[in-house]
Structure 1
């Protein structure tokens, strides 16, 4: 498997440099130059093509959520993992709804950060286990979105079922006999039809509509 290109976006220089140095010792991770603000983050994402962006929620006067929105708009394939000192559940929920695939505290170990980066690159994600139940409860409040599932094509429903089964893009491609690019297209289309920004939201909606993981 080719190395995972990782961009750290954090204006705390000492923390960011220490994290970059530690993650740089992982043989499967390539750590790109650090970005301390939104402008450099977007520029480096365009030129260096990271697969995973590790994003702080506060970048000086800038909001990490705004940076997340701009990253998702200009580079929808990039996987964003939030690494922050913030602990507010509302901020976590906003980040997930806006497309983040992971949320980590800065007090977590570098080993866990590396594992979550690898999971994100494989189309997985991470929510702290101690708040996962509450996050899912809030994300699954009935809002009538389930009615959008019939708008999906049969193939999009198959892809969504595979997502509910916990498969990443490569595994979905193998199961359905499709290319990874085709799976990506189906995923983007079904997210758009459902009005969702992340796979976690789509999976939550699907399970609320009655889909369950298959054995």
Structure 2
């Protein structure tokens, strides 16, 4: 696999540099110089071409949401993960609508941050499990139905259906692998295959389509 180039954008320099140093020891991750504001972040995105940008919501007088708009408009291949102190559902929904594929609290472990970065570099992502239901309901209420060129869930294999149901349940790739007795790489392959069959670009789109088709989160045992 190609190394994943990662840019951290945070105006709390000590936190950002400490996280960058820690993630720099993770196999397969290449950390770029930290950016403290939107202007510097955009310059580094243009020149250093990160695959994943990890950004705070508050960037001094600016908003990470505005940076999401610029990333989506000018660098659509870049995947954005929010790493911030708040867990406000309305802000999570707004970030997802603007293109974020993940939302993490700054209290999460560096190991989880690294895993979400790896997932985001593919076609995965992560939303807070305790907010997932509210976020999905808000997105379903406010977004038009996906239009996957007439494709339906009937095109999926039984195993792909199982993986999709686990995604709707709010499970991470590692949790899906554990529940289904598969390797993480196999789950990644099934996820990529089901997205391709449905004509979608992200796990969140797949979950939204699945819920519109009637799938609902199952009770956790």
* TM-score normalized with structure 2 length: 0.74
Question: What is the aligned counterpart of 1:199 among 189, 198, 202?
Answer: 202
Structure 1 position 139, deviation (Å): 2.0
Q: Alpha carbons of 1:204 and 1:141: their partners in 2 closer, same or farther (altered >3 Å)?
A: farther
Unaligned runs of 5+ in 2: 168-172, 174-184, 217-221
Q: Alpha carbons of 1:207 and 1:11: their partners in 2 closer, same or farther (altered >3 Å)?
A: same
Unaligned runs of 5+ in 1: 177-182, 192-197
Q: 2:37 corresponds to which residue?
A: 37
In structure 2, how many angstroms separate the alpha carbons of the residues matched to 1:16 and 1:36?
A: 9
How many positions carry a matched residue from both structures? 194
Q: Is 1:149 equivalent to 2:147 in the alignment?
A: yes
Confirm or deny: 8 A CA contact 1:139 1:201 kept in the other structure.
no
Q: 1:114 corresponds to which residue?
A: 114
In structure 2, how many angstroms separate the alpha carbons of the residues matched to 1:174 and 1:131?
A: 25
- Cα deviation digits, residues 58-96 of structure 1 (max 9, x gap): 000001101111111100110000000122111111001
In structure 2, how many angstroms separate the alpha carbons of the residues matched to 1:99 and 1:48?
A: 20
In structure 2, how many angstroms separate the alpha carbons of the residues matched to 1:75 and 1:108?
A: 27
Q: Alpha carbons of 1:154 and 1:128: their partners in 2 closer, same or farther (altered >3 Å)?
A: closer
In structure 2, how many angstroms separate the alpha carbons of the residues matched to 1:2 and 1:111?
A: 20
| Structure-to-structure mapping, 1:131-146, within 5 angstroms | 131-141=131-141, 145-146=144-145
Q: 1:9 corresponds to which residue?
A: 9
* TM-score normalized with structure 1 length: 0.76
In structure 2, how many angstroms separate the alpha carbons of the residues matched to 1:56 and 1:12?
A: 9
Runs of 4 or more consecutive aligned structure 1 residues displaced over 3 Å after TM superposition: 162-168, 170-176
